[in-house]
Amino acid sequence: MSDDRSASWAEGEARELLSLMMIGVCVWIVGTQLGVFKILLEFTALHGLEHLLMLAICMSLGIGVAAVRKSFKLRRVMEARDGAQAQAESVARHDVLTGLANRRLFKETLDARLASAEGIPSIAVIQIDLDRFKPVNDVHGHAAGDAVLCAVADRLRGLLPPGNTAARLGGDEFALLFDYGADTESVSRLAQQIITSLSQPIPWGAGRLEIGATIGIALASVETVTSETLLHAADVAMYQGKRDGRSTYRFFQLEMGHALKIRALLEQDLRAGIARGEIEPFYQPVVALPGRELIGFEVLARWRHPEHGLMNPSDFITLAEETGMIADLCWSLMRQACRDARSWPQHLQLAINISPLQLQDKQMPERVLAILTETGFAPSRLEIEITETALVNDLEAARVALKSLQNLGVRIALDDFGTGYSSLYHLRELQFDKLKIDRSYVASIPLGSERAKLVDAIIALGSSLGLLTTAEGIETASSVDWLADQGCTYGQGFLFGAPMGKSATDVLLAEWSDESGKVVLDGAAEAQRQLKAGALRASAA
Ligand code: C2E
Ligand code: MG
Ligand code: MG
């Protein structure tokens, strides 16, 4: 019970007591004035009833005391009831784990702040989403996840100036309601302080847990004057921050809302496109070095959009990953590719890219097997390419999935090697069959730069671990010779052929095979011209 309520209760009790006493005094005055008491005393004395009178007085006193006791008891009951009510209210408005306000209280506070302001208030909604929180939960367990959330709450409390509100909106999402007064710069300063503070490791057992934070900020403005629009705007800005590379903060801009609408339309379009089978496989040749003999193709997705024409993966793969559509997209692509490749020479292999999300799917190996069985494609002809981002999310799940695939006879390649942040760690932890050296390294070879030395080192590292290596993005003949000299096993790039549709691939195989079915892509200018023309014809088809 609050002190205020306690004081008003005591005041009420005192008033009631005083009123009763006043009534008593009035009765006494009237009684003495009219001589009623005198008559009563004389009557009791005359009939020897003084004891009865005293008994009546004593009983009245007893009743008075009982009434006061009852009142105290009542007070205790009311206190307990009010306490329970206050606790229930607090639970309904606070996050049980961190003690911060929950979404409901945050929204109520925001509503109240907006309603009490004259004009547009100087407030910012700062939405914070933790980076790398899921791996903490998955790898170290929920107790570690809870410890991280509590540490985050403590750090936010410590950074937020008094009089402002910090809340946990749910999961690993937090929000601050910050009144910046006349100092707009203070919002950016606070956001930066939060990012710095949350990137400091959190002690856990004998070790420490590392997370980060991405922040979206919405300032109240003519366009964002309700709690819903402010929260939505902060959310949009936060997602922009995630897309821009995490551990950063972004202020909401109106264009972001526009971009979001376009994205929603594209999402609808992609969903329908996948269902209508508009995503088709393109095939980019992979050759063995130094002979440049075709050994297979990498399967790359293209969207044959009814209005926009042929779209590249950069226009839709990220969206498909963010919305979970990537799995449907990839399985349909794998099915089409395995069917296409059935008529091609049996020694040709297919390499297919798998997204991080699919690696989390425990049924992934079974799904691959089902497609191989359905299309009659041998597992030994299939290679799965994964990027390191897939491994960062959940290394243990990746290990299990990759091992099951390898047990089927499928090979695993680590794609875009050198662009992830802990390549060596993943090489040690997981058993790959192949490394694909990212094209950003390969492109620098002709310059003879320091990066070329790195390519040399990667090839040496691969062969010391017994891994095959593919250099991606080979565009010049001189880099092929250099790569072959360093011991690189395979090559892929525009020099040997750009990704092309099924019909262009059929043409390539028909026109370039010798009697034994061998295709040598020697990079001759005329051959390339024909290949590119074939690819273009297929694109336009
Ligand atoms: P990636 O797996 O590293 O594929 C290689 C990319 O390099 C392809 O781009 C290819 O067209 C491009 N490339 C090949 N040779 C050269 C060259 O000589 N020079 C240059 N500048 N580029 C070259 P693309 O087809 O645009 O694909 C981009 C990325 O999209 C792929 O990178 C892959 O990560 C992703 N992707 C494509 N298809 C799929 C898919 O079906 N599923 C998933 N999960 N990701 C896919
Ligand atoms: Mg790839
Ligand atoms: Mg690659």
Q: What is the DSSP string of 6-55?
A: HHHHHHHHHHHHHHHHHHHHHHHHHHHHHTHHHHHHHHHHHTT-HHHHHH
- 134 C-alpha to ligand 1 centroid (Å): 28
Rounded Cα–Cα distance for residues 178 and 219 (Å): 9
Number of Cβ within 10 Å of residue 272's Cβ equals: 11
Whole-prediction pTM: 0.65
Instruction: Evaluate whether 212 touches 195 at the Cβ level (below 8 Å).
Output: yes
Rounded Cα–Cα distance for residues 383 and 296 (Å): 10
What was the pLDDT predicted at 526?
45
Residue 305 belongs to what H/E stretch? strand 293-305
Rounded Cα–Cα distance for residues 232 and 412 (Å): 41
Q: Write the DSSP symbol of residue 180.
A: -
Residues 6 or more apart from 170 whose CB is under 8 A from it?
Answer: 103
Q: Which tokens go with 241?
A: 């921050």
Residue nearest to atom 4 of ligand 1 (CA): 300
What is the number of the ligand closest to the CA of 337? 1
Instruction: Evaluate whether 436 touches 415 at the Cβ level (below 8 Å).
Output: yes
Residue nearest to atom 17 of ligand 1 (CA): 473
Cα-trace Rg, the chain: 38
- 531 C-alpha to ligand 2 centroid (Å): 21
Which of 274, 280, 297, 300 maximizes ligand 1 atoms within 8 Å of its Cβ, making it the mutation to test the pocket? 300
Number of Cβ within 10 Å of residue 237's Cβ equals: 24
Task: For residue 321, give the ligand 1 atom closest to its CA.
Answer: 44
Residue nearest to atom 13 of ligand 1 (CA): 473
- Report the candidate in 133, 130, 137, 138 with the shortest Cα–Cα distance to residue 397: 138
In angstroms, the first-to-last Cα distance of the chain is 78
- 425 C-alpha to ligand 2 centroid (Å): 20
DSSP letters, 32-45, are HHHTHHHHHHHHHH
Which of 353, 354, 357 maximizes ligand 1 atoms within 8 Å of its Cβ, making it the mutation to test the pocket? 353
What was the pLDDT predicted at 534?
54
Task: For residue 313, give the ligand 1 atom closest to its CA.
Answer: 30
- 281 C-alpha to ligand 1 centroid (Å): 12
Ligand 1 first shell, C-beta below 6 A: 284, 300-301, 312-314, 317, 326, 330, 333, 353-355, 385, 415-416, 439, 472-475, 492-494, 499
Instruction: Evaluate whether 354 touches 390 at the Cβ level (below 8 Å).
Output: yes
Which of 472, 483, 531, 539 maximizes ligand 1 atoms within 8 Å of its Cβ, making it the mutation to test the pocket? 472
Chain-centre distance for alpha carbon 406: 30
Instruction: Evaluate whether 352 touches 389 at the Cβ level (below 8 Å).
Output: no
* Residue with tokens 């910090």, as numbered in its chain: 166
Residue nearest to atom 30 of ligand 1 (CA): 313
* Residue with tokens 């049996």, as numbered in its chain: 346
- 124 C-alpha to ligand 2 centroid (Å): 42
Residue nearest to atom 12 of ligand 1 (CA): 473
DSSP letters, 486-517, are HT--EEESTTT---B-HHHHHHHHHHHB-TTS
Residue nearest to atom 8 of ligand 1 (CA): 300
Rounded Cα–Cα distance for residues 491 and 532 (Å): 17
Instruction: Evaluate whether 538 touches 500 at the Cβ level (below 8 Å).
Output: yes
Task: For residue 385, give the ligand 1 atom closest to its CA.
Answer: 2
Regions of the chain where pLDDT drops below 70: 1-9, 392-393, 420-423, 446-449, 523-541
Residue nearest to atom 41 of ligand 1 (CA): 301
- 298 C-alpha to ligand 2 centroid (Å): 7
- Phi then psi dihedrals of residue 417, to 5 deg: -60, 135
Structural domains of the chain, with CATH = 2-93 (no CATH), 103-254 (3.30.70.270), 270-540 (3.20.20.450)
What is the number of the ligand closest to the CA of 351? 2
Task: For residue 279, give the ligand 1 atom closest to its CA.
Answer: 41
- 241 C-alpha to ligand 3 centroid (Å): 25
Q: Which tokens go with 408?
A: 């089927």
What was the pLDDT predicted at 1?
44
Rounded Cα–Cα distance for residues 531 and 494 (Å): 10
Which H, E and C letters describe 413-482, residue by residue?
EEEEECCCCCHHHHHHHCCCCEEEECHHHHCCHHHCCHHHHHHHHHHHHHHHCCCEEEECCCCCHHHHHH
- Report the candidate in 469, 460, 465 with the shortest Cα–Cα distance to residue 488: 469
- 285 C-alpha to ligand 2 centroid (Å): 12
Task: For residue 301, give the ligand 1 atom closest to its CA.
Answer: 38
Task: For residue 436, give the ligand 1 atom closest to its CA.
Answer: 3
Write b or e for each residue in 103-116: b if 16 or more Cβ atoms lie within 10 A of its Cβ, otherwise e.
bebbbebbeebbee
DSSP letters, 319-356, are HHHHTTTHHHHHHHHHHHHHHHHTTS-TT-EEEEE--H
Q: Which tokens go with 494?
A: 């525009």
Residue nearest to atom 45 of ligand 1 (CA): 353
Residue nearest to atom 25 of ligand 1 (CA): 300
Which of 317, 352, 354 maximizes ligand 1 atoms within 8 Å of its Cβ, making it the mutation to test the pocket? 317
Q: Which tokens go with 131?
A: 């980076």
Rounded Cα–Cα distance for residues 176 and 165 (Å): 6
Cα dist from 84 to 102, 125, 306, whole Å: 19, 32, 63
